[in-house]
Each structure stands twice: as structure tokens, then as C-alpha cells.
Amino acid sequence: MKTDCDLLIVGGGLTGLVAAWRAQREGLKTVVVAQGPGSLPFTSGALDLLAVYPTEAKRYRESPWEALSELIETEPEHPYGRVGLRGARAAVEDFLLYLEAGPLAYYRRGEENMAIVTGAGTIKPTYAVSVSMKKNRLAWSRRRPALILGFEGLYEFSPEQVVCNLQDRWGGLKAARLDRSVLLDGDRRLTVTQLAFEFERPEFRDRFAGAVKPLLGQSRFLGLPAVLGFDRVAAVCRDLEERLGVGVFEIPLLTPSLPGMRLAALLKRDLVEAGVDFRQGAPVSRLDEKGGHVSAAYRTGKSREERILAEYVLVATGRFFGGGLEADRQGVREMLLDLQVEAPGDRDNWHMASFLGAPGHPINRVGVKVDSMLRPVGPGGVPVYDNVFVAGAVLAGHDWVREKSGAGISVVTGYAAVDSVLAARARAGGGV
């Protein structure tokens, strides 16, 4: 039968974007259907691989790879366990080489995790960060004299909070705020996006540098909330460094989070350039399935229904936040194909008595169960469809929030799902 695409990816979060990027490069004709932007615009843009393992002990791991091999040994049903160490390494390596070469110039510290300062004044472990946070890690790890600067009227960021929380371990750390009248007219509340627009303008940077210089004193670094422009962040940082003569870095915020938005925008742009057919807006509302095979997907828009014939389908619909899973008072459902998910008993057992405690809320491990090819399975572990694969946050058996493994799971399973598609195609005799 004639199809519209080789691979239909449902979901435009990090998982869907990563999978599409790889699939298109492998020569698969790819369509992405994304109802919304997914989690990426809310993330710190820092890519976590695995930093806490086991989560029961809240044990921080300097080496994500060492932790990963242990996890794969002990938790074969974890998404990383399903893919295995070799697949994980290859995926992360390939994807990071791409990001490192791109305009966001991602940075990692060899094979180890790094630590960065967040807007809450906490220290977050992660595996790779965009160029604007490279010196965040450097300033913290060397405890160099630094000025943390906030903006009057930007409630998302309190430089005093950062400094108060860290000063016992970081001498030479200072907080200051810029009065908005120094920079802008009017007395409206400042927003993150408004500042980002301003920072892209050289005149604004000029005024900004003039106002900040006298505050620097002995500081060797200047830490700012993540507001330094959109896709030109690298150039903005460089320009500020030249004007001020200190290292400049960004600090990730609660929300909205520009570093996550930048990454989403970059991936989307590159995909579309590479030829991926990216359709945002109307969701996939139903699928044609027969005898364990899905042949078509339907998007229902306001006025019409659109049919997409696909050879293979990748479910990358995220969890509750993305819309891949939904819960009512009785239980949890997978929304696209009603794939098997098991809630952890009745609702009293979904969450722990403590919000922030260990090992993590049982509901977080709920998701779609898959085999080693990432095909969804039914009772008894048997695949229920021959041409459907599942990747990303929607998978069962992980708790990325506590493991600090969010982006890593998306990248590793996104790659692995495409590998599975390629293998299935090869078996079916379809050449690439």
C-alpha cells in the first residue's frame, strides 16, 4: 500500500524531535505530529543523563556511565535497561556531537557529571549544558569571586536567594539588582521574554554594561538569570564578556525557561531543514488498527480530519504533562492506543507521604511496558503491534525526576526506537 511516510512520530517533545532527527538522517521519510510543545520549553536546557542512583539512597554519582551500567544490571525493565549500555553510549555521543557543533555549542565535562548553580540557589548535577552555562559550572567549581545580578521587577529570580544559599561554601559571592529605570522606560513588571528581546539589541547591552561595570568590583564572573536572548545567546554572552572583562553565565530559572525553548527551536529548525514534515496543532485523535498492525493515523482539526498513512508509528507522547497518560479517580490510561499501563494499586498508593522524599512517587514509574525492541507489550510481555514503537517519558519503569535522567531517556530511547524501525524494515525487506 502507498504510504505518506515511513515513520510517523506522535509527539513533538524532546523524544519526538530526537527520533525525527535521527530517522530523517537514516533516510526514513518522517512525519511528526505534535499537539503542543511538550516539556522542553519548561526544562533547564541542561541535559541530564543519570546523576542519582539508587534513588532510595539519593546517592549522587560523579560518573553517569558507571551508574548507568549498574542500573542496567539491576533494572532490566528501565528504559536504559531495555536499550543497554552500548546503545545508550552511541546515542548520547552522536546527539551531543551534533549539539556541540551547533549554535548553542553544548559543553560536557568528559565522561563525568558536572554541577551548576540554579535560580533557587541549589546545585544541580547534569551531563551537558549549552554555552551560556559553561561558565556557571566553572565559576562554581573554582569558587571564583562572582557577582549574581538580578533585575528589579523580575520575580522569577532573586540573586539574594542564590547568594545566601551558597555563600558559606563560596566566598567572594555578591548579589546585586539593577533598578529597571536604569535600563528601561516605564515601571511595568519585567518578564523573562521581554528581557531576552532587549539583550539581543546592542544598544541595550551597551546601557546594561555601563550600569553593571561599577558593581563588579573584584568579581571575575557575572551570573545572570537565563534571559540573554534567544538563538543568539552565544553572541550575546561573548559581547557582554568583551564589554565587561569578566566571564558571563546564565542561571536556569523556575519557568519560563529560555534555555529549554532555545533547544526546542534549534531542533525544530534543523529537522524541518532536513526535510521532516512537522505538523503542530491538531493531535492524533485516532488510529486505524487491525490484527496488531496500525496503518493510518487521523488528526482532527477544527474543520477537517486529516489522514496520515504510515508504515511505522512511534509513540512519543510524554507522560501526564505531555498528554500521553491520563488519570481519573479509578486509574491511569495511555491515551493514544490504550496500551497496557498498571497503576500502583489504589490512589492512596500513587504518591509517597512526602513530596520531596526518597525514593520517588510510585506513579512516576507507571507507563507503557515494552520489549527490548521498544514495542509495547500486553499481558505476558508479548508485543501487541508489529509496527508500533514507544520512546521517551511515557515508558514504564523509570523516575527521571529523582534519577535526574530526563533528557537522557529521551535521547537514548529516541535513537533506539529508530534503530528498531530500521531493523524491522530490513527484516521486512524494505531497503533504506
Partner 1 sequence: MRIETQVLVIGGGVTGAGILRDLAMRGIHAVLLERRDLNAGASGANHGLLHSGGRYVVADPASARECARENEVLKRIASGCVEDTGGLFVALEEDKDEYIVDFISAAARTGVSVEQADLKELREEEPFLQPRVKAAFRVPDASMNPFLTTEANLEAARRLGARVFFYTQVTSMQRDRKRIARVDAIQAKTGEAVEVFADQVVSAAGPWVDQIGALAGADLRIAYSKGSLLITNSRLVNRVINRLRPPSDGDIVVPGETVTITGTNSIRVEHLDHLRTSASEVDRLVEEASRMVPALETARFIRAYAGVRPLVLADRDEPDRKISRAFTVFDHEKDGLENLVSIAGGKLTTYRLMAEKAVDLVSRRLGVDEPCRTAEIPLPGSGEGRALDTSQRLERLRVPPPGGEVLCECEMVGRQQIEEIVAELRKNGHPIDPNAIRLRSRLGMGSCQGGFCGYRTIGYLYERGLVSSKKGNEMLADFLEKRWNGIKPMLWGEQLRQEQLLEAIYCGSLNIDGSL
Binding site for ligand FAD (CB under 6 A): 10-16, 33-40, 42-44, 46-48, 283-284, 316-318, 321-324, 336, 392-393, 400, 406-407, 410
Site for partner 1 in 371-400 (CB under 8 A): 400
174 is a contact residue toward partner 1 (CB under 8 A): no
Cα separation, 427 vs 385, in Å, equals 16
Neighbours of 329 (CB within 10 A): 6
Q: Give Cβ neighbours of residue 415 (< 8 Å, ≥ 6 apart).
A: 18, 19, 22, 87, 90, 91, 94, 95
CB of residue 165 to partner 1, shortest distance in Å: 5
What are the DSSP calls for 39-96, one per residue?
Answer: TGGGS-S-B----B-SGGGT-B-S-HHHHHHHHHHH-TTSHHHHH-HHHHHHHHHHHH
**In 143-230, which ranges are E strands?**
146-151, 173-178, 221-225
Q: Is 197 in the site for partner 1 (CB under 8 A)?
A: no
143 counts as binding partner 1 under rule CB under 8 A? no
User: Nearer to partner 1 by C-beta: 252 or 414?
Assistant: 252
Identify how many contiguous H helices and E strands the chain contains and give both numbers. Answer: 13, 17
Q: Which is closer to ligand FAD, CB of 184 or CB of 411?
A: 411
Q: Is 35 one of the binding residues for partner 1 (CB under 8 A)?
A: no
> Taking CB under 8 A as the rule, does residue 63 contact partner 1?
no
- 14, interface contact from ligand FAD, partner 1, none, CB < 5-8 Å by kind: ligand FAD
Q: Which of 181, 321, 426, 430 binds partner 1 (CB under 8 A)?
A: 321
- Is the Cα torsion angle 342, 345, 347, 351 positive or negative in sign? negative
Q: Which of 2, 168, 185, 291 binds partner 1 (CB under 8 A)?
A: 168
Per CB under 8 A, 344 contacts partner 1: no
The tally of CA atoms less than 13 A away on the side-chain side of residue 156 is 20
The residue type at 348: D
**Residue in the structure block whose three cell numbers are 504533562:** 321
Residue 33, binding choice from ligand FAD, partner 1, none, Cβ under 5 to 8 Å by partner class: ligand FAD
Choosing from 320, 335, 373, 384, the residue that interacts with partner 1 (CB under 8 A) is 320
Site of grid cell 496543532: 281
Beta strands per DSSP E along 227-304: 247-251, 277-280, 284-290, 293-300
**Among 70-78, 94-102, 151-159, 192-200, the segment contacting partner 1 (CB under 8 A):** 151-159
Write the Ramachandran bin of 33: left for phi over 0, alpha for psi from -120 to 50, otherwise beta: beta
Q: Residue 183 or 272: which CB sits closer to ligand FAD?
A: 272
Residues forming contacts to partner 1 in the complex (CB under 8 A) are 39, 42-44, 48, 52, 58, 60, 115, 118-125, 150, 153, 155-158, 160-161, 164-165, 167-168, 177, 187-189, 252, 254-255, 257, 319-321, 326-329, 346-348, 350-351, 353-357, 361, 363, 400-402, 404, 406
